[in-house]
Amino acid sequence: MYDYIIVGAGSAGCVLANRLSENPKNKVCVIEAGSKDWHPSIKLPVGIAWLMRSKTLNWNYNTQPEKNLNNRRLFWPRGKTLGGSSASNAMVYIRGHKQDYDHWESLGNKGWSFNDLLPYFRRSEHQERGNDKFHGSHGPLNVQDFKVRNKLASAFVKAGVQAGYRKNQDFNGPEQEGIGFYQVTQKEGRRCSSAAAFLRSSEQRDNLTIITKAQVSHLQFDKKNESIIGVSFLKNNKTYNIKASREVIVSSGAINSPQILMLSGIGEKNELEKHGIEVKHELNGVGKNLQDHLDVMLVQKSLTADSYGLTFKNLITHTPYHLYQYLVKKRGMFSSNANEAGGFVKSEPSQAIPDLQFHFGLAKLRDHGRNLSFMMGDGYSLHICNLRPKSRGTISLNSANPMDHARIDGNYLSAEEDMDTMIKGVKAGLKILNADAFDKHRGKQLTPEFQLNSDADIRRHIHENAETIYHPVGTCKMGNDKMAVVNERLQVHGIKRLRVVDASIMPTLIGGNTNAPAIAIAEKAADMIIQDAQGLSARMV
């Protein structure tokens, strides 16, 4: 018997495990489908290239054929280890725009404005630049600048200014708009995942149990189907059942959280009955409202040997130098996320806030870095994504077997205005790549393999090459409408003692990378859970 059971030890789950177990009276259990985060490629930032190919530390999802992307099945990597996707992402620390959260509150979610969430961003953060109005310096999540900046990344920032965009020193400060260098969740050149930040310091507590390599099969209801009382999971071909006296918190991400709810009999009636699952609680919004940042790349060959591609220089002659820089000075190629610079810009001046994001890659990339032959030689890549797509997809079931992957329908570009924004984004990206700062670096255009001379050419490129940039959200959305899954305290509508706490609760996608927001969501949720428990204790007395 535990007080709290947390399903998933990802970006949000690790925060909850830490905060809820701070009180030694709370007996907490966290269940993770993946293994412990021991692998060197997790700690070594450049290891992200290997993690994309891992068969054990990556869920390796694929979407259904996307009808608006030439019926391609898109690869969706997600972290499968302690720390979840924070153990395999590009470590870019971005919160999104103030208006994103103010919009959540305008939808009826009281307490979720930017000013409400800022204290939680600050509480989690250890900003190496120091403490100020927007940043904290005493939290466990280390945020730092790159000690050495790649010459190509510097050229991108200079080119952005030449293209007419302002330079921004802090995308998480007073203004998001502009071009600049990203900060990353690293400490002394090592990845600072949610597990490294929040779980390492708490995993030895006597009141915290961490179970890895355990696949949750379903949540346990009481006899009246009113409350969740426990969790069933599979480990080493055996089934285990554990109980929670206070709450079960599902923190398994935008794909797995709705899947677990549906496997437990919580969801749309027709969807559950189709797979022979008894409907315990009808909730039509489970798995709906899926949103993701669709991304398209422009790739160039580089005339200078400054990239982090697979070259003789990087792999052979300069390896001792790179090792010295990393092991002794905690900097250089091995500490790089290969996306050191980027920015937030408007697709057109009439936009109130930036609706495009750039990630500038320091190598030639194709197929999420899994095409190694394409990475041979020097080059660079520019990711371009639409920050607030109107298209909505779904997560549903392929079967009632918990070991089967969920069915992912991204439904990208189903809203025509999303394509319009992407076309404008590619034009903005071309303007930067053609600026004077790239003159000495710019070689042959490699992606796409045809010239972009018209909107029709850009549209073709997007249909043929656009991919996810790994930010799925919204499938257990917060709100009070008929498609909402959780309320403003992240409690599942109509069910007692059950919450969902992760990026799936976002009613709308935020304008930026989603790891820092998922952590802030969990920080706020931990406070609400503790507050509600104290209220319960007072009522019991």
Nearest in space to 476 (alpha carbons), one of 288, 248, 292: 288
Rounded Cα–Cα distance for residues 523 and 517 (Å)? 10
Give the model's pLDDT for residue 540. 39
Residues contacting 70, CB < 8 A, separation 6+: 463, 464
pTM, two decimal places: 0.97
**Catalytic hit among 103, 135, 218, 471:** 471
Q: Is-catalytic flag, 471?
A: yes
Nearest in space to 464 (alpha carbons), one of 366, 321, 344: 366
Element (H, E) at 273: helix 269-274
Nearest in space to 76 (alpha carbons), one of 41, 52, 45, 44: 52
Give the model's pLDDT for residue 535. 82
Q: 3-state class of 184 per DSSP? A: strand
Q: Which residues of the chain have pLDDT under 70?
A: 536-541
Give the model's pLDDT for residue 538. 52
Per-residue pLDDT tens digits for 374-387: 999 999 999 999 99
Angle between helices 114-124 and 98-106 (to 10 degrees): 130
CATH topology of domain 2-540: FAD/NAD(P)-binding domain (3.50.50)
Structure tokens at 424: 């404008």
| Residue type for position 229 | I
Residues contacting 9, CB < 8 A, separation 6+: 17, 30, 31, 32, 34, 82, 83, 84, 195, 199, 210, 212, 251
Per-residue pLDDT tens digits for 512-528: 999 999 999 999 999 99
- Domain spans of the chain? 2-540
Give the model's pLDDT for residue 536. 61
Rounded to 10 degrees, the C-alpha dihedral 81/86/369/322 comes to -100
Q: 3-state class of 396 per DSSP? A: strand
What Å distances lie between residue 88 and 79, 203, 487, CA to CA? 6, 20, 30
Rounded Cα–Cα distance for residues 252 and 256 (Å)? 5
DSSP state at residue 92: B
Per-residue pLDDT tens digits for 425-434: 999 999 999 9
First to last CA, the chain: 22
